[in-house]
């Protein structure tokens, strides 16, 4: 999801969700996380400034992953708890122009074999 405000701010957000996955011997738990970015361009779109954040959903902002395998002879439970909170500031400056101009040129080729014309082909080439 991305929106643009009257102040020319760009907002985008993302949520990732993975559900529980089952196997013959057990399961892997799912996980959820969310991220968002707020950005603005300056100096005729040459300077971009963005602030981004990411966090796990649930479990106090941490990513929680559990894997369970069980057979008649053993049971194995693995748990991973990882802090998933992050804030990033990004600054990008573009040197030179952003736009490129292309010209189109039509090329026609005809192939003849003996008395009959077999293929006629046209291609368009793009150049700078």
CB-CB contact of 29 with 20 (8 Å): yes
Three-state secondary structure call for residue 60: helix
The reported pLDDT for the residue numbered 120 is 46
pLDDT band at 117 (very low <50, low <70, confident <90, very high): very low
Token digits for 108? Answer: 């026609």
pTM: 0.54
d(CA 76, CA 63): 20
Mean pLDDT of 73-94: 87
Predicted confidence at residue 118, as pLDDT, reads 43
Rounded to an integer, the average pLDDT of 84-109 is 71
Residue with tokens 């040197």: 95
pLDDT in tens, 15-29: 888 888 998 889 998
User: What are the sequence ranges of the domains in the chain?
Assistant: 2-98
Ramachandran region, residue 66 (left: φ > 0; alpha: ψ -120 to 50; beta: rest): beta
pLDDT at 36: 92
31-72 pLDDT, tens per residue?
A: 888 899 999 988 887 888 999 988 888 777 778 888 999 988
Q: What is the mean pLDDT of residues 99-103?
A: 59
């Amino acid at each position: 999801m991305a929106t643009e405000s009257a102040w020319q701010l760009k907002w985008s957000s993302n949520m990732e969700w993975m559900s529980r996955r089952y196997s013959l011997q057990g399961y892997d738990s799912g996980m959820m996380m969310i991220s968002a970015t707020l950005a603005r361009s300056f100096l005729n779109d040459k300077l971009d400034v963005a602030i981004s954040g990411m966090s796990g959903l649930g479990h106090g902002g941490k990513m929680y992953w559990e894997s369970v395998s069980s057979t008649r002879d053993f049971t194995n439970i693995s748990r991973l708890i990882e802090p998933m909170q992050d804030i990033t500031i990004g600054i990008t400056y573009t040197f030179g122009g952003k736009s490129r101009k292309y010209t189109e040129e039509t090329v026609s080729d005809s192939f003849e074999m003996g008395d009959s014309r077999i293929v006629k082909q046209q291609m368009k080439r793009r150049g700078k």
